[in-house]
Amino acid sequence: MKDSANIGKFRDPATTAKGEARATVALSDPQTLWFNTGTLCNITCANCYIESSPTNDALVYITPEEVTDYLDQLDARNWGVTEIGFTGGEPFMNPGILAMLRASLDRGYKVLVLTNAMRPMMRPRVRAGLKALQADHGARLTLRVSLDHHHPGNHDAERGAGTFATTVTGMRWLRDAGITMAVAGRTLWHESDAEARAGYATLFAREGFAIDAYDPGTTVLFPEMDESVEVPEITTACWGILGKRPDSVMCASSRMVVKRRGAARPAVLACTLLPYDPQFELGETLAQAERPVALNHPHCAKFCVLGGASCSA
C-alpha cells in the first residue's frame, strides 16, 4: 500500500505526513450492514479490488447461522439499519446464500446482492430460490449486476471472453422473473459520465431492462481503485475546505462482516473496500465496531471523500 507515489503518507492513524490531525469518521447513521460471503468467484477479473478468483479463499464462506447472529446484534444495538448487502467473491457460490437472503428479508430489511449473474446464479436451485424470494418480498430484493461496460469488448477485456453475453443472459432471466436489478460499471474508458450513461441507457432499452441508467444509485459507475496513484491525505480541516460532511462518507453509514480463513469467528470491518488492511478491522461484534474510523488509506481519500462513491444503494 505504501507505494512511492504516496511515500510517507498514510502511516499514522492520528496524524498526516505533514503533522496535521487526520480526519476521522464516526458511525453516525448506520444504514447498511454488508456481509462478504467469501472471496471465491467463478471468474478472475483483470482488476479486482478484493482479488476474487476460483482459488482465493482468503475470506471463507460465511454461514447462515453467523449472519443470523449479526442480525440479532442489529436488533440489540438498535442501529437503525434498513439494508443488508451481500458481496463477494460471487455470493451465489456460497451454498448458504439463499438462507441468508431469506433471513434478512424475513426481518423486513431491504437486501442488495452484488453478482456477476453468471453460472452460479443460474443454477436451477438458485433460480428457484430467487423466484420464491421475489414472490414473498418483491422489490425489497435487488440484484446489482456487475456489467463493467455497455460495450461487450470492454467488459470482456476485464472479465474474460464471452462474459458479457453470459451476464446479459442472466440479466434477461432476472428481467423475466420480475426481480429488481441494478448495474455496477467502471469508469476505465476515457468517456464522460454522460457518455457512459447514454451507452447503458441504449443497452437497457434494447434489452427491456427496467434500470435507470441516469440514476447514480441504480447504475453505479465506480472509479478504479489504484493504490499507486498519488492522493492527498484528508485532515480535519478538509471538511470545511471541500464543503463535505463526515456523515457523507461511507464508513459513517455502513460496516462489513467477513470470515477470514482460519479464524474462529467473523470480524467486522470499517469498509467494504479494505478487506485486507488490519487497521480497518474493528472487532468481532457490532458493539466493538461502533468506534470512529481514521481515514488512513488512499482509498479513503480518492474513492470516498474526493470521489463521493458508495457501495450502497
Domain extent for 132:
25-223+246-291
Q: Would residue 14 count as lying in a domain?
A: no
Mean pLDDT computed over every residue of the chain:
93
Q: Would residue 115 count as lying in a domain?
A: yes
CA distances from 293 to 28, 202, 252, 313 (A): 11, 40, 9, 21
Of 50-54, 245-249, 298-302, least confident by mean pLDDT is 298-302
At 140, is the pLDDT very low, low, confident or very high (cuts 50, 70, 90)? very high
Q: Would residue 280 count as lying in a domain?
A: yes
Q: What's the confidence (pLDDT) of residue 83?
A: 98
Mean pLDDT for 48-59 is 95
Structural domains of the chain, count: 1
pLDDT in tens, 257-283: 999 999 999 999 999 989 999 999 999
Q: What's the confidence (pLDDT) of residue 172?
A: 98
Residue 173 has pLDDT above 90, yes or no: yes
Q: Would residue 229 count as lying in a domain?
A: no
Mean pLDDT for 245-252 is 93
Please state, in angstroms and rounded to a whole number, the distance separating the CA atoms of residues 60 and 56.
9
The CATH number for 199's domain is: 3.20.20.70
Q: How many CB atoms lie within 10 A of CB 198?
A: 15
Q: Would residue 236 count as lying in a domain?
A: no
Please state, in angstroms and rounded to a whole number, the distance separating the CA atoms of residues 81 and 186.
27
At 2, is the pLDDT very low, low, confident or very high (cuts 50, 70, 90)? very low
Are the CB atoms for 231 and 31 separated by under 8 Å?
no
Q: H/E/C letters for each residue in the chain?
A: CCCHHHCCCCCCCCECCCCCEECEECCCCCCEEEEECCCECCCCCCCCCCCCECCCCCECCCCHHHHHHHHHHHHHHCCCCCEEEEECCCHHHCCCHHHHHHHHHHCCCEEEEEECCCHHHHCHHHHHHHHHHHHHHHHHEEEEEECCCCCHHHHHHHHCCCHHHHHHHHHHHHHHHCCEEEEEEECCCCCCHHHHHHHHHHHHHHHCCCCCCCCCCCEEEECCCCCCCCCCCCECCHHHHHCCCHHHCHHHCEEEEECECCCCCCEEECCCCCCCCHHHEEECCCCHHHCCEECCCHHHHHHHHHCCCCCCC
Mean pLDDT for 151-164 is 97
Q: Kindly report the backbone phi and psi dihedral angles of residue 197, in degrees, each rounded to the nearest multiple of 5, phi listed first.
A: -70, -35
Q: What's the confidence (pLDDT) of residue 226?
A: 65
Q: What's the confidence (pLDDT) of residue 1?
A: 40
pTM score, two decimals? 0.94
Residue 16 has pLDDT above 50, yes or no: yes
Q: Would residue 213 count as lying in a domain?
A: yes
Please state, in angstroms and rounded to a whole number, the distance separating the CA atoms of residues 243 and 133.
42
CA distances from 295 to 15, 40, 42, 232, 255 (A): 10, 28, 32, 11, 14
pLDDT in tens, 184-243: 999 988 899 999 999 999 999 999 999 999 999 999 998 876 666 788 899 999 999 989
Q: Would residue 75 count as lying in a domain?
A: yes
Q: What's the confidence (pLDDT) of residue 222?
A: 87
Of 30-39, 131-140, 241-250, 285-294, least confident by mean pLDDT is 241-250
Q: What's the confidence (pLDDT) of residue 5?
A: 64
Q: What's the confidence (pLDDT) of residue 308?
A: 55
Are the CB atoms for 207 and 179 separated by under 8 Å?
no
Q: What's the confidence (pLDDT) of residue 49?
A: 86
Mean pLDDT for 113-133 is 98
Q: Would residue 12 count as lying in a domain?
A: no
